[in-house]
């Protein structure tokens, strides 16, 4: 190992699904130890695994307990250990078939196989029941997975309107895909799922907003969605000047309140017809300004690696929380441990069982041979 190599150590509690480990580098070797499997040997357990970039993405060399249980060796050749470095573009997971949707508020989605957990961000494509009916109106927007149970989950959108048709049979071309690293630059631009009006305005976003109290925001709502009174332009009071608001309360990761007095505003209308989908713009709320025009001073916390979103409470970064609207560079890199099985034992799982305690050591060497 040479002078500028990097090493990271840590641990996590397994959720029995793919685990991403975020680091300030993408390693070229990874070792993991499943402490729970070592402490209680049992058939199908993988107590140790090793990965090198020379193996290729998704592989791992493992130690495995057989039926006795006695340790033996094996390999994982798919869904093993992989590295990632998410930059300027969003990366999407595999297509998962959508088999049904409900005409309800909120919409409930059923997929061919269990694939998503609460907090995952997904996008849809297709969603046609016939050539002229379905739910293509929500395709292209990112949604945070809510109330996930098996193959079913909810999203923050009202699909009970007359223009929506439930999907009742598996259809060719109806898919949902996971956004692998959705929070690259935050707080970013978010889509609006619902609005509540009064002396303040409550906003529900389709995916995690990542705003903090005190943040300056603006709205871009196309006229077909109704509530154009919130829009930054035009400003009838001060022509040429944008109309912005402050976040006054963060309720949860998809819900916040701003200081817009919206009593009497036009009702928000998510019930858009399918024939309007080509060229349809989505209602948006966005962060405004940059840290040079305000924001909070840095108040502690780790500077490196960069903060990880989402969070309903805000996160410090090297430039402060930037509540004036600056975008935090939250690009991701590190490695993931998948649900891949050893080639001789399909019942094994590299990432372990639910609540297993797993330790890891990851290295990036500046000299290899």
Over residues 125-182, the pLDDT tens digits come to 999 888 889 999 999 999 999 999 999 999 999 999 999 999 988 778 899 999 988 8
161 and 200 co-located in one domain: no
Whole-number percent of the chain with pLDDT over 90: 60
246 and 270 co-located in one domain: yes
111 and 126 co-located in one domain: yes
Residue 369 domain-assigned? Answer: no
Residue 74 domain-assigned? Answer: yes
Which DSSP category does 342 fall into? B
Model's pTM, two decimal places?
Answer: 0.76
278 and 143 co-located in one domain: no
Residue 132 domain-assigned? Answer: yes
Could you report the per-residue pLDDT of 63-122, keeping only the tens digit for each? 999 999 999 999 999 999 999 887 656 788 889 999 999 999 999 999 998 889 898 999
DSSP string, 223-250: GGGS-GGG-SS--SSSTTS---EEEEEE
Residue 131 domain-assigned? Answer: yes
230 and 358 co-located in one domain: no
Number of structural domains found in the chain = 3
189 and 325 co-located in one domain: yes
289 and 196 co-located in one domain: yes
pLDDT band for position 316 (cuts 50, 70, 90): very low
Residue 212 domain-assigned? Answer: yes
Indicate the residue among 178, 206, 234 that finishes a domain. Answer: 178
Residue 297 phi, psi (nearest 5): -70, 155
Residue 268 domain-assigned? Answer: yes
The kind and range of the H/E element at 37 are: helix 35-39
> The domain that contains 273 carries what CATH number?
2.40.30.180
Could you report the per-residue pLDDT of 223-234, keeping only the tens digit for each? 999 999 999 988
Asked whether 213 and 296 are in contact (CB, 8 A), the reply is no
Indicate the residue among 150, 178, 206 that finishes a domain. Answer: 178
Domain range for 83: 6-87+333-364
Residue 202 domain-assigned? Answer: yes
Per-residue model confidence (pLDDT) at position 23: 85
14 and 115 co-located in one domain: no
263 and 214 co-located in one domain: yes
322 and 360 co-located in one domain: no
Could you report the per-residue pLDDT of 256-313, keeping only the tens digit for each? 999 999 999 999 999 999 988 888 899 999 988 654 444 444 454 554 455 566 765 5
308 and 232 co-located in one domain: yes
39 and 131 co-located in one domain: no
DSSP string, 106-157: SEEEEESS----TT-EEEEE--BSSSS-B-GGGTTS-EE-EEEETTEEEES-
- As a whole number of Å, the end-to-end CA separation of the chain is 11
- Sheet containing 6-13: give its strands across: 6-13, 357-364, 29-34, 48-52, 59-65, 71-86, 332-337, 19-22
Indicate the residue among 143, 178, 213 that finishes a domain. Answer: 178
Residue 15 domain-assigned? Answer: yes
Has residue 320 got a pLDDT over 70?
Answer: no
Has residue 354 got a pLDDT over 60?
Answer: yes
């Amino acid at each position: 190992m040479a002078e500028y190599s990097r090493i990271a150590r840590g641990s996590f509690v397994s959720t029995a699904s793919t685990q991403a480990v975020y680091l300030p580098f993408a390693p070229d070797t990874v070792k993991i130890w499943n402490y729970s499997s070592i402490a209680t040997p049992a058939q199908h357990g993988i107590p140790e695994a090793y990965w090198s970039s020379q193996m290729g993405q998704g592989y791992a060399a493992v130690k495995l307990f057989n039926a006795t249980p006695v340790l033996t060796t094996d390999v994982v050749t798919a869904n093993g250990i992989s590295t990632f470095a998410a930059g300027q573009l969003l990366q999407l997971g595999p297509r998962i078939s959508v088999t049904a949707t409900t005409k309800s508020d909120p919409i409930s989605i059923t997929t061919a196989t269990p694939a998503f957990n609460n907090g995952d961000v997904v996008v849809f494509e297709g969603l046609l029941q016939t050539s002229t009916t379905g739910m293509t109106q929500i395709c292209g927007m990112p949604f945070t997975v809510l109330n996930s149970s098996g193959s079913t989950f909810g999203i923050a959108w009202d699909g009970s309107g007359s223009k929506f048709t439930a999907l009742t049979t598996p259809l060719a071309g109806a898919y949902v895909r996971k956004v692998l690293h959705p929070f690259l630059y935050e707080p970013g631009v978010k889509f609006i799922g619902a609005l509540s009006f009064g002396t303040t305005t409550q906003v529900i976003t389709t995916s995690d907003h990542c705003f903090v109290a005190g943040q300056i925001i603006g709205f871009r709502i196309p006229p077909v969605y109704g509530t154009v009174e919130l829009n930054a332009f035009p400003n009838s009071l001060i022509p040429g000047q944008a109309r912005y608001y402050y976040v006054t309360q963060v309720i949860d990761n998809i819900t916040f309140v701003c200081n817009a007095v919206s009593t009497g505003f036009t009702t928000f209308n998510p019930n858009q017809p399918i024939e309007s989908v080509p060229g349809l713009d989505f209602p948006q709320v966005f962060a405004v300004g940059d840290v040079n025009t305000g924001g909070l001073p840095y108040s502690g916390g780790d500077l490196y690696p960069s903060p990880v979103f989402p969070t309903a409470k805000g996160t410090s970064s090297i430039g402060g929380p930037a509540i004036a609207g600056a975008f935090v560079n939250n690009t991701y890199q590190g490695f993931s441990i998948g649900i891949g099985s050893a080639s001789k034992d399909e019942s094994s799982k590299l990432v372990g069982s639910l609540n297993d305690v797993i330790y890891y050591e990851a290295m990036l060497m500046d000299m290899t041979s």
